[in-house]
Structure 1
Amino acid sequence: MDAFSTEDEEALRKFMPAAFGKQDAGVNVEAQIEQARRKIVDERKQAVEKAKDSDDDSDDSDDEDEDDDEYPVTHELIVKTHDRAVTSISLDPSGTRMVTGSNDCSLKLHDFSAMTPNTIRAFKTVDPFETKPSETAESHTIHQVLFSPWSGSQFLVITATPQARIFSRDGEMISEFKKGDMYLRDKNNTKGHTAEVTCAAWHPTNMDLFVTGGIDSTVRIWNVNNRMSQRDVIVHKSRAAGSAGMTRMTAVGWSSAAEGQSSIIVAAAYDGSLVMWGGEGPYHRPAAEIREAHVRDTWTGGLDISADGRLVVTRGGDDTIKLWDTRKFKTPVSQASHPSTSAQYPTSNIRFSPNSTSVITGSETGHLHILNPATLRPEIVTPVTPGSPLITVNWHPKLNQIFTGSANGQTTVLFNPKLSHNGALSVLSKAPKKRHVDDDTSLTTDLDPMGIAGDAVEGGAKLQGGSYSSRHPTIGLTASGKSRDPRRPHMPAVTPFAGTTPDERHVRESIPLSSMRDEDPREALLKYAPKEGEAKLFTGAWDENQPKPIFKDYDSDEEAEERDAKRARR
């Protein structure tokens, strides 16, 4: 048999296709990425360049190029999915799934592996308070969304309610943690927060633990496997005059401690204090406390701990950013002036970079500030959403991309093709999705609520003039929510009190022995009544030990009559 020659191999390649299926005509990935380049990178350096000579301008441009290669801010990908301000952004450890929370009381789930350059949108919208489609549920602002740092299978949701919630990565609620009894004065005896939860953080090494802080002046540690009660309660007693020992917890962080010690918990309070506890306990008293870390009665919404647990950065409502050393937790290492947006947006945060060599935060003007942690001076100030406050920031360690959320509902992904990986780059590396005929609204029709198609045929001729609902304006709902269709019964509106009334199933599961309230107490007692011939179960002792009554004996009937006469006179 002759050997397989080179010409035969080339002929086989021409005959056999290199790949099967429909082949893409070709995508210019570099051109798509270049379209995402940002025009302005650093406004601070532009102001400096104007004051220098032309000779220095060439040197500054070289320095600017070096800065471009140092930080992932040269390109951007805009995700516009929310109607109101984006308050929190979180990504799973792999960086493929992103969840955003907003003031529109909804969660948006995004999958970068499924996005294309012309389909940049959320694949699912989740209402954390939705119970049943037929019921009217309450809606509250989303304060914080936190993916588990060790597992991308679930994320924690903190809303303006006393209950934290755990959701799966697909947006299904796994557990809702218990609310405490607000009428108990001692917060150590309640099984959950008695007021709104404002902040939370995951344990740095244990995937089953997380901590929450609320306006009931408590910090509580929870186990994800026990939703009926917290594991530990830390009651923060404020020393501010007139607060009666109660204050609001505004921010909390949980990180590994320096030099291989146990973890630490750091929390900020509305009275201006900054408190630190040992992450593994005991919690009866704080390990360190700074009473006037920030101005009293200002909301310190930004708090983050460095990866090594040595530094803590806070952004207060007193228009300052301060850096603290956990080993000398008394005075700030450095501080800088920075206008606060926590009065209008309490979830305005501040974060360390993955390697703790930078600090990032937003501003009321819509700029992203990358600060030097040693001096808190800006290294780069770049506009993201000019004119709209930048509320939340997040720097993903694996993607090396910066995610920002603004007050106009826009989520922006900043990246650098030389430094970043996957995420926004994977989206721009794909071919745009070809539009289907159903994507063009001018070629499709709506369906009537009763199920009649808009292009229905009457008498053999197609009805002209758009959809059925547009031709029949009486079909639909009035401004008050009532149906205009006389055939459809009116659904009564559910009042806020009726919507929050616990149902029978919730009472039966959460309150022990709650079924006894439906029993008749008389019937419950008669169950223990002895039958004929049986000994008495509870009152049998009285048959032997009951004292016998002894009455006075009268000698004659005259004394008895005299006694009765005296009673009558009385």
Structure 2
Amino acid sequence: MSKKTKPISFGKISFNFTKGSLDENKDESTSGFGTFGRTPIQEQKDIEEIADDLESQHVHQVMGIRNFGKKAKNFNVEEMIEQARKTAQEVNKKKTEETLTGKSSDKKLDEQNDDIIGPLPPKSTVNDKTGDESSDDDDDLIGPPIPSNLLAKDPDKVNTSDSKNDTKSDGDSYDELSGSDDEDLSLEKRIPNTHEVEMRHGTKAVVAVAVDPSGARLATGSVDYDVSFWDFAGMDASMRSFRTLQPCENHPIKALQYSATGDSILVVSGSAQAKVLDRDGFEVLECVKGDQYITDMARTKGHTATLNSGCWHPHIREEFMTCSQDGTLRLWLTENPKQHKHVIKPRQQGGLKTNPTSCAFSRDGNTVACGCFDGSIQMWDHRKNFVNTTVILRDAHQKQTEISCISFSYLGSNLVSRGNDDTLKIWDLRNFKKPLNVFGDLFSRYEQTDCSFSPDDSMVFTGESLQRDQDVGRLRFFNAKTFEPVTDIEVTKSHVIKGVWHAKLNQIFVGCGNGIVKCYYDNKKSLRGAKLCIVKTHRKKQSMEVVSSQQIITPHALPLFRQEKLRTSKKKMEKDRLDPMKSRRPDLPITSGQGGRVAASGSTLSSFVIRNLGLSKRVDDDQDPREAILKYAKDAEENPFWVAPAYKKTQPKPIFQDGEDGPSDAKKPKTDD
């Protein structure tokens, strides 16, 4: 038995309970095999709508209003998608016909706009509603209407753009800043160098520059041992750093890098111990120093020689890496700074050790790479043990020269290396035997001269040191695909060492050899960063001339510091009398001393005894004693006092022994009779 096909309609279901419809339902229910159980009188949706109508009538009787707000409509998503596809195909056909015939009118555009709105649910087919109610139904549609300028475009593009916008971040990335218009722009116009800001770090070369991942802070390090911290949100137009410190005492700073979360910063200096500071510059940890008398570097807990470089792991926030002149790379964890996690020992062609001069992680963190003093680039797999290299290239740069920097592209397929052999090389990691291109005549004086990719991997850039015939240091940009020079930025009258292109801010920070840090930005394409500081002016404090009447409390007015007040001034006068400063006592006279020598006695014991006996005559210590005795010989002969009067009666005439006979023997010798 054939049944009547009913058309599908959206919106509310109309209820026309007539006798004819009931008869049809009765015929349909009795015909055929039949049904089990009770036949439903009405569908569940009909019952719910009848209950809603009864409830609204009851509310109207009690409160005088129909209902509380309007009910959102339910849409069939699958039918809407099918209808959108059909309308999109029709619009594409019409567009192709218009391009072929060359006749387009405003009416056709209106028809296309109406067709694109087709995926939205149509009006209900209820005939008993008025026009006002149908306009209210249009207001019930959830979501904003599609802009008119997008309606004229293809709906496929509109849908794809919506899906792209959902996957994008909150609008801080470089891709959103550049937009789709940058695809048509030349590479030179993509470089944010319309404006520049100058920051003064010191007077010596700035060899380390690090920017917070969020772009809120900047850290700079120099060979003058200082590390300066810059806060863009707190700085004004004077561009002064809010903190400068010497974290590694008298060791030059060689590398700085913020962690992936931005809460700590790695400081690599000329010492053998790397340090980790927090955002405000306070020390968090210091790596242990190894035993320099042990030849096997794997058996020491830390580095034994000066550090060269260091970096954080891009995904593991607790792990960082350092390389040193002792010929090792070491992986550390912030949880255990007293012991390294792994030791990597790069080797030369013959198996001897070589010093790694630069190190880096790949963007995914699965590869550890280093550039060595023998001109080689060596890589290890981070997920395996670090015994054998996964990739090694012996003749990457000239031997016995430092590879000052190696950097991976954002996509991870290319690598760029900078050497002190005046070259910059681009490598393809899938074919790592020969460089894609070599950029020559790039003079470099520093071991920290770096290189990097632009955020969209379309360019590579590096700094250039001054030669004798040059006046201005340049930051040079090259096309990463065609290898042609894009542009040169003349930075300052000194060497250009470091260059950091921050993808989130779309700003370039450059460290120079004269202690200046420059920031380049585009006023339209750059976000925050240095742009926050330019609009701020330093406010001078106004001097207040109003005299306050409030009581001023001095520290000595507190009972803890209060001095005891003496009731009488007698004791105070006695204390002041004993104090030579307060009593203003004059200098005492010198009682003894002669010829610059001030002493109570002479230099000998006899002079000390004589002077203390109180004799009037002074004894000279420096005179000859024989002369002193002979001085009284004439006086003793004329007026004898001590010896001569005793022998005056018995021996009036003194008899002296002649010198010819010689001295008499004290004992006579025995004689034989």
Instruction: Tell me the TM-score normalized by structure 2.
Output: 0.51
Question: 1:303, 1:106 → 2: CA distance?
Answer: 25
Contact 1:106 1:128 in 2 (8 A): yes
Once the two structures are TM-superposed, the CA of residue 208 in structure 1 deviates from its matched residue by 1.0
Letter in 2 for 1:139: N
Once the two structures are TM-superposed, the CA of residue 308 in structure 1 deviates from its matched residue by 2.3
- Determine if the alignment matches structure 1 residue 163 to structure 2 residue 163: no
Identify unmatched segments of 5+ residues in structure 2: 1-183, 467-472, 544-673
Tell me which residue corresponds to 2:386: 283
- Determine if the alignment matches structure 1 residue 250 to structure 2 residue 353: no
Higher gyration radius (CA)? 2
- Moved beyond 6 Å, runs of 4+: none
Contact 2:361 2:369 in 1 (8 A): yes
- Determine if the alignment matches structure 1 residue 83 to structure 2 residue 231: no
- Determine if the alignment matches structure 1 residue 97 to structure 2 residue 217: yes
- Determine if the alignment matches structure 1 residue 231 to structure 2 residue 346: no
Once the two structures are TM-superposed, the CA of residue 307 in structure 1 deviates from its matched residue by 1.7
Q: 2:520 aligns with which of 385, 408, 414?
A: 414
Q: Any idea what the Cα deviations from partners look like across 1:309-360, whole Å, max 9, x if unmatched? A: 211100111111111122222221211103231xx32111111122222212
More off after superposition, 64-73 vs 320-329: 64-73
Secondary structure of the residue aligned to 1:427 is helix
Secondary structure of the residue aligned to 1:384 is strand
Question: 2:316, 2:264 → 1: CA distance?
Answer: 14
Once the two structures are TM-superposed, the CA of residue 429 in structure 1 deviates from its matched residue by 2.7
Contact 2:188 2:486 in 1 (8 A): no
Q: Any idea what the Cα deviations from partners look like across 1:45-99, whole Å, max 9, x if unmatched? A: xxxxxxxxxxxxxxxxxxx995564110111000012221100111111111110
- RMSD of equivalent CA atoms: 1.9
Q: 1:214 aligns with which of 284, 309, 324?
A: 324
Say if 1:235 and 1:67 are closer, same or farther in 2 by CA, change over 3 A. closer
Contact 2:360 2:407 in 1 (8 A): yes
Once the two structures are TM-superposed, the CA of residue 437 in structure 1 deviates from its matched residue by 6.6
Question: 1:419, 1:180 → 2: CA distance?
Answer: 48
Letter in 1 for 2:255: Q
Tell me which residue corresponds to 1:436: 541
Tell me which residue corresponds to 1:8: none
Contact 1:116 1:428 in 2 (8 A): yes
Once the two structures are TM-superposed, the CA of residue 115 in structure 1 deviates from its matched residue by 1.2
Contact 1:69 1:419 in 2 (8 A): no
Question: 1:334, 1:399 → 2: CA distance?
Answer: 29
Letter in 2 for 1:426: L
Q: 1:123 aligns with which of 242, 252, 264?
A: 242
Q: 2:314 aligns with which of 195, 204, 212?
A: 204
- Determine if the alignment matches structure 1 residue 144 to structure 2 residue 255: yes
Contact 1:334 1:374 in 2 (8 A): no
What is the percent sequence identity of the aligned residues? Answer: 33
Secondary structure of the residue aligned to 2:403 is coil
Once the two structures are TM-superposed, the CA of residue 217 in structure 1 deviates from its matched residue by 1.1
Secondary structure of the residue aligned to 1:188 is helix
Q: 2:230 aligns with which of 110, 128, 141?
A: 110
Q: 1:301 aligns with which of 388, 404, 417?
A: 404
Contact 1:272 1:291 in 2 (8 A): yes
Contact 1:391 1:407 in 2 (8 A): yes
Contact 1:85 1:408 in 2 (8 A): yes
- Determine if the alignment matches structure 1 residue 359 to structure 2 residue 466: no
Q: Any idea what the Cα deviations from partners look like across 1:16-60, whole Å, max 9, x if unmatched? A: xxxxxxxxxxxxxxxxxxxxxxxxxxxxxxxxxxxxxxxxxxxxx
- Determine if the alignment matches structure 1 residue 265 to structure 2 residue 368: yes
Secondary structure of the residue aligned to 1:301 is strand
Tell me which residue corresponds to 1:425: 531
Question: 1:66, 1:332 → 2: CA distance?
Answer: 25
Question: 1:92, 1:306 → 2: CA distance?
Answer: 19
Question: 1:291, 1:66 → 2: CA distance?
Answer: 37
Identify, as 1 or 2, the structure richer in strand: 1
Question: 2:395, 2:542 → 1: CA distance?
Answer: 63
Q: Any idea what the Cα deviations from partners look like across 1:265-298, whole Å, max 9, x if unmatched? A: 1100001111011122221010011111111011
Q: Any idea what the Cα deviations from partners look like across 1:461-514, whole Å, max 9, x if unmatched? A: xxxxxxxxxxxxxxxxxxxxxxxxxxxxxxxxxxxxxxxxxxxxxxxxxxxxxx
Contact 2:403 2:420 in 1 (8 A): yes
Say if 1:437 and 1:406 are closer, same or farther in 2 by CA, change over 3 A. farther
Once the two structures are TM-superposed, the CA of residue 374 in structure 1 deviates from its matched residue by 2.4
- Determine if the alignment matches structure 1 residue 391 to structure 2 residue 497: yes
Contact 1:198 1:214 in 2 (8 A): yes
Instruction: Tell me the TM-score normalized by structure 1.
Output: 0.60
Identify unmatched segments of 5+ residues in structure 1: 1-63, 130-137, 439-570
Say if 1:437 and 1:198 are closer, same or farther in 2 by CA, change over 3 A. farther
Letter in 2 for 1:80: R
Letter in 1 for 2:254: H
Letter in 2 for 1:123: F
Tell me which residue corresponds to 2:423: 320
Which one scores higher on RCO, CA 8 angstroms, separation ≥ 6? 1
Question: 1:65, 1:278 → 2: CA distance?
Answer: 39
Once the two structures are TM-superposed, the CA of residue 202 in structure 1 deviates from its matched residue by 1.3
Letter in 2 for 1:147: Y
Question: 1:144, 1:393 → 2: CA distance?
Answer: 13
Question: 2:503, 2:461 → 1: CA distance?
Answer: 14
Contact 1:87 1:103 in 2 (8 A): yes
Letter in 1 for 2:343: V
Tell me which residue corresponds to 1:378: 485
Q: Any idea what the Cα deviations from partners look like across 1:377-433, whole Å, max 9, x if unmatched? A: 321111011x30100000111100000000010000000011100011111233x12
Contact 1:151 1:207 in 2 (8 A): yes
Q: Any idea what the Cα deviations from partners look like across 1:209-243, whole Å, max 9, x if unmatched? A: 11111111111111111100110001112226xxx
Question: 1:269, 1:428 → 2: CA distance?
Answer: 42
Once the two structures are TM-superposed, the CA of residue 198 in structure 1 deviates from its matched residue by 0.5
Say if 1:67 and 1:74 are closer, same or farther in 2 by CA, change over 3 A. farther
Letter in 2 for 1:170: D
Contact 2:312 2:321 in 1 (8 A): yes
Question: 1:114, 1:292 → 2: CA distance?
Answer: 48
Letter in 1 for 2:291: D
